[in-house]
């Protein structure tokens, strides 16, 4: 049976984004504190968005790290339900040395995401192995419902867990294309930071 193909009609009827305001990428998903993020392993979660032009990305650091991290967004392949292609947007280095909101301009000009499904990505450098970010709650299946799950044990990794995210090896500060990447499903809490977009 073929996987469902995303169509813009399946995106909720969001109102237009207002310039200067921050928008969560997870309107139907609760957030919580994640787990420590190890180095050189990109963590990804699926989200859907309205059409939005944005200039900056934001996350919350819940446990201080000792170095830097970067954020990015990739397109979704509707046939495979996996990230694909070259990175769409990314940040430079962001510091995990303080608790709370951390923001950064995206590299290059403001960028427009068309209404659709995308993948938020996080990578940390070697010094930030103890950094913990705000992430999607483990008991929320909204992201899983977008791309499906191969491993039943990952899908229901605990009595109150239905979240599955993806990881793939990648050296820090490279943001390689994802088309040929190998992904691992991870059940429960994740080190993937929950991204916010600043409308431009």
Q: What count of residues does the chain have?
A: 200
Q: What local confidence, expressed as pLDDT, does residue 33 receive? A: 87
Cα separations in angstroms, 181 against 37, 72, 166, 168, 176: 20, 16, 11, 7, 9
Work out the average pLDDT over 170-193.
Answer: 93
DSSP string for 48-109 = EE-SEEEEEEEEEEEE--SSEEEEEEEEEETTTTEEEEEEEEEB--EE-SSSEEEEEEBSSS
Give yes or no for a contact between 133 and 62, defined as CB atoms under 8 angstroms apart: yes
Identify the helix (H) or strand (E) that includes residue 184: strand 184-187
Residue 73 has pLDDT above 50, yes or no: yes
Residue 163 has pLDDT above 50, yes or no: yes
Report the alpha-carbon distance of residue 12 to residue 130 in Å, rounded: 36
Residue 6 has pLDDT above 60, yes or no: no
pLDDT band, very low/low/confident/very high, at 154 (cuts 50, 70, 90)? confident
Both tokens of 164, joined, read 């599955």
Highest mean pLDDT among 17-31, 72-86, 176-190: 72-86
Residue 168 has pLDDT above 60, yes or no: yes
Give yes or no for a contact between 146 and 136, defined as CB atoms under 8 angstroms apart: no
The whole-chain average pLDDT of the chain stands at 88
Q: What local confidence, expressed as pLDDT, does residue 8 receive? A: 47
Q: For the segment 103-144, what is each residue's pLDDT rounded down to a tens digit?
A: 999 999 999 999 999 999 999 997 766 789 998 888 777 777
Q: Which of 197, 185, 156, 171 is nearest to 73 (CA)?
A: 197
Q: What local confidence, expressed as pLDDT, does residue 92 receive? A: 98
């Amino acid at each position: 049976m073929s996987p469902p193909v995303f169509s813009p009609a399946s995106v909720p009827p969001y109102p237009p984004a207002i310039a200067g305001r921050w928008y969560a990428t997870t309107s139907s998903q609760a957030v919580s504190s994640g787990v420590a993020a190890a180095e050189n392993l990109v963590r990804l979660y699926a989200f859907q968005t309205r059409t939005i032009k944005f200039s900056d990305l934001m996350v919350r650091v819940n446990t201080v790290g000792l170095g830097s991290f970067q954020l990015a967004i990739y397109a979704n392949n509707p046939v495979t339900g996996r990230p694909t292609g070259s990175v769409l947007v990314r940040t430079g280095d962001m510091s995990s040395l303080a608790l709370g909101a951390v923001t950064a301009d995206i590299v290059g000009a403001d960028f427009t995401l068309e209404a659709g499904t995308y993948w938020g990505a996080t990578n940390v450098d070697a010094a930030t192995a103890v950094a913990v970010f705000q992430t999607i709650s483990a008991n929320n299946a909204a992201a899983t419902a977008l791309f499906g799950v191969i491993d039943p044990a990952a899908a229901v990794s605990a009595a109150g867990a239905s979240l599955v995210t993806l990881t793939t090896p990648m050296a820090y500060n490279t943001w390689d294309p994802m088309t040929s990447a190998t992904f691992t499903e991870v059940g429960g809490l994740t080190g993937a930071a929950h991204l916010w977009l600043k409308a431009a």
